[in-house]
Amino acid sequence: IASWSQKAAWADGNFGDIVVTPLTHLTVDVTDATTHMPLDAEIILVPTPATSRDQVHGTENGYFDRNCAPYLGAPHASAPACNRALAYNGHTAMSLLPGNYWVYATAGPSRTIARQQVSLTEGADGHATLALTALPGIYPDGSLAADFHVHSGRSFDITLPANDRVETFITSGIDVIAATEHDVVG
């Protein structure tokens, strides 16, 4: 809340200098390490020690502070959100503050995790390419991975949009889900 002295100073319409840091743009491509085909995956960004979390942390108007660093979007909105994005068909793009980041890709327990460090400077574009390897034997042959208790933004206790909720299961290697929304049939 602004003090009375700040409000009086603003009465003339002079709010002082507003400094806006130009965003950088990062594209991430994820492939299967053996076939080199695009792979649906979840992307997670984490600042390296060279970049302070405070430099790239964000909230939605001070609300929903879930320690999003870097802040890619509201944590309860469509991807990218908080510090995560979904790579549909092995590709995603996002805008973020300059800094040094670890870019992680995961596609569930039946694949490896990959990471790459990127350094993004003001106004520059960056790119990360990550390859994930299948881990045979995690699931018995012929089995399906499933979750029979799934909520999405249609329920009061979760805000993730239904389409993104389904995509998070796809990127995790889950084959079957059962929607169990609260008081809603969808």
Name which of 46-50, 63-67, 141-145, 176-180 the model is least confident about: 63-67
- Per-residue pLDDT band for 103 (boundaries 50, 70, 90) equals very high
Mean pLDDT to the nearest integer, 9-22: 70
pLDDT tens per residue across span 16-43: 777 777 889 999 999 999 999 999 999 9
**Pairs from 71-79 (Cβ < 8 Å, separation ≥ 24):** 71/96, 71/97, 72/45, 72/96, 75/159, 76/153, 76/159, 76/160, 77/159, 77/161, 78/161, 78/163, 78/164, 79/164, 79/167
CA 66 centroid distance within chain: 13
Q: What is the pLDDT of residue 102?
A: 97
Strands 176-179, 146-150: pairing kind: parallel
Beta-strand runs (E) in the chain: 24-32, 41-47, 58-60, 63-68, 84-87, 91-96, 99-106, 114-120, 125-132, 146-150, 176-179
Mean pLDDT to the nearest integer, 61-72: 73
Query: What is the token pair recorded at 95?
Result: 């805008």
76 or 178: which carries more pLDDT confidence? 178
Largest CA distance in the chain: 73
Mean pLDDT to the nearest integer, 74-98: 85
Q: What is the pLDDT of residue 40?
A: 93
Mean pLDDT to the nearest integer, 32-61: 89
